[in-house]
Amino acid sequence: MDKLRIWGGCALEGEVPISGAKNSALPLLAACLLTEEPVTLHRIPQVRDIRTMQELLRLTGAEVHVDGAGAVRVCAARIARPEAPYELVKTMRASSLVLGPLAARTGKARVSLPGGCAIGARPVNLHIAALEQLGARVGQSHGYIEAAAPGGLRGALIHFDRITVTGTEDIMMAAALARGETVIENAAREPEVADLAELLNKMGARIEGAGTSTIRIQGVERLGGATHTIIPDRIEAGTFAIAAAITGGDLTLTGCIPEHLNALIVKLRQAGVEVTVPAEGSLRVRRAGALRAVDVTTEEYPGFATDLQAQFMALMTQADGIALITETIFENRFMHALELNRMGANIRVEGRQAIVAGPRTLTGAQVIASDLRASASLVLAGLVARGETVVDRVYHLDRGYERIEQKLVQAGARIRRES
Ligand code: EPZ
């Protein structure tokens, strides 16, 4: 089990190239199941979750070719086994993204229930209810979701009780091949949803309104192949922006889309961090003076991303004052607070709220990562802590960050991976 050893105290400087978005690559890879023609996706980050999804596609019978430069070519000419087995789904709940495509393409799907993960129960009841509204019969047995739509799916009016990112994506993919029109209300507005719609429309789908709360899909008989470059990872970009702020450094992120980070940019500026857009597709983050404590509440996009909450909490341990952090999306996403306190932070967790009192000098310690973004938070804390921090179980980190320690070393961090 790999660990990262970090010697704190270096201000990060220079340029960091941002990789393709993991949370765009996952639904877009699932969308390849909707056509028997080849689909080529560029800028796919080679991280663990992507390798899991590629394995899942192979298990259904699709051919998946990965070149070394981030291009992945999927050809689902024949789907021999419309299934997502427990062994894979238990490691990545986003596997539920194949439920809609398999049901729409083959008329049946057998997908393991994801079960929970460190940050919460992660139910898929909204995916299932919406798929039933599209005409599928969905049962659950032996830990599996079993969907059947022998006569195909038909369009419907879908209204999600609460905003769900992969629920919106799952149903948009299923509806693309349904007979008639589907309207999704209370849809997720994340940029990854819009990126998926762009690929589907290139494949011949007829989707309007993706990226807004109401999406209209006119179903078509069949979809064809396409080539598409996915959007950059706004969460990776946000993580490195916070890395510049927490180390008092000066980083320029390249190949990103600054407007995907507006909620974070506003908060960083309020905290006293200088954030500028020096050129198209790049973001410069510099912090010279003291940090001010700033309150944050996570919300669905375009609100402050829950996937940046843990990283921002690490930053607030260095800020002057009391920062109130409220997590509204997941029920158990403060595990990193306990580890940060072991490094000397002063964080009190009360239900959905964490109260961070700063500034506090952090000291290096042995810490354990519990989930993908919590591990990023601990790395950030290690970059500013006095002495040596060892972050254990970095396989969590490898799920969603491509070559993170190489990128950090390039920017001047003293960090080493140890097996
Ligand atoms: C996506 O997860 C992301 N994953 C998550 O990123 C992200 O944290 C999350 O959206 C919120 O932005 C991918 O895109 C692959 P949701 P998802 O469905 O779709 C409840 C990361 O770190 N809910 O929007 O699973 C759910 O429990 C990961 O990269 C139901 O109740 O999240 C949660 O409280 C972590 N029933 C809320 O909705 C359902 O059927 C939002 O979940 C579905 C969701």
Please tell me whether residues 221 and 236 are part of one structural domain: no
Q: How far is ligand 1, taken at its centre, from the CA of residue 228, in Å?
A: 24
Whether 396 lines ligand 1, by a CB cut-off of 6 Å, is no
Please tell me whether residues 12 and 83 are part of one structural domain: no
Backbone angles phi, psi at 280, to 5 degrees: -55, 130
* Paired tokens of 359: 């500034």
Please tell me whether residues 136 and 114 are part of one structural domain: yes
The DSSP bridge partners found for residue 364 are: none
**Residue where a domain stops, chosen among 200, 229, 258:** 229
Domain coverage including residue 279: 3-19+232-418
315-356: pLDDT as tens digits: 999 999 999 999 999 999 999 999 999 999 999 999 999 999
pLDDT at 122: 82
Please tell me whether residues 215 and 257 are part of one structural domain: no
> What CATH number is given to the structural domain containing 132?
3.65.10.10
**Residue where a domain stops, chosen among 229, 245, 268:** 229
268-321: pLDDT as tens digits: 999 999 999 999 999 999 998 999 999 999 999 999 999 999 999 999 999 999
pLDDT at 118: 82
What angle is formed at CA 115 by the lines to CA 109 and CA 117, rounded to 5 degrees? Answer: 135
Please tell me whether residues 159 and 210 are part of one structural domain: yes
Whether 372 lines ligand 1, by a CB cut-off of 6 Å, is yes
Pocket test for ligand 1, best of 122, 235, 309 (most atoms within 8 A of CB): 122
Atom of ligand 1 lying closest to residue 128 CA: 40
Whether 330 lines ligand 1, by a CB cut-off of 6 Å, is yes
**Count of CB atoms within 10 A of residue 194's CB?**
18
Q: Is 10 a catalytic residue?
A: no
Closest CA to 394 of 412, 376, 409, 414: 376
Q: How far is ligand 1, taken at its centre, from the CA of residue 364, in Å?
A: 32
Whether 127 lines ligand 1, by a CB cut-off of 6 Å, is yes
Given the residues 10, 75, 117, 256, select the one marked as catalytic.
117
Please tell me whether residues 75 and 13 are part of one structural domain: no
**Residue where a domain stops, chosen among 188, 208, 229:** 229
pLDDT at 120: 85
Please tell me whether residues 264 and 196 are part of one structural domain: no
Please tell me whether residues 30 and 179 are part of one structural domain: yes
pLDDT at 298: 98
Per-residue pLDDT of the chain (419 residues; tens, 9 = 90+): 899 999 999 999 999 999 999 999 999 999 999 999 999 999 999 999 999 999 999 999 999 999 989 999 999 999 999 999 999 998 888 999 999 999 999 999 999 998 777 888 888 999 999 999 999 999 999 999 999 999 999 999 999 999 999 999 999 999 999 999 999 999 999 999 999 999 999 999 999 999 999 999 999 999 999 999 999 999 999 999 999 999 999 999 999 999 999 999 999 999 999 999 999 999 999 998 999 999 999 999 999 999 999 999 999 999 999 999 999 999 999 999 999 999 999 999 999 999 999 999 999 999 998 899 999 999 999 999 999 999 999 999 999 999 899 999 999 999 999 98
Please tell me whether residues 115 and 209 are part of one structural domain: yes
Please tell me whether residues 339 and 217 are part of one structural domain: no
Whether 168 lines ligand 1, by a CB cut-off of 6 Å, is no
Please tell me whether residues 26 and 148 are part of one structural domain: yes
Whether 193 lines ligand 1, by a CB cut-off of 6 Å, is no
The tally of domains found in the chain comes to 2
Atom of ligand 1 lying closest to residue 125 CA: 40
Instruction: Give nearest CA residue, ligand 1 atom 8.
Output: 307
Please tell me whether residues 139 and 215 are part of one structural domain: yes
pTM here? 0.98
What angle is formed at CA 132 by the lines to CA 198 and CA 220, rounded to 5 degrees? Answer: 40
* Paired tokens of 282: 């790049």
Closest CA to 40 of 230, 195, 180, 218: 230
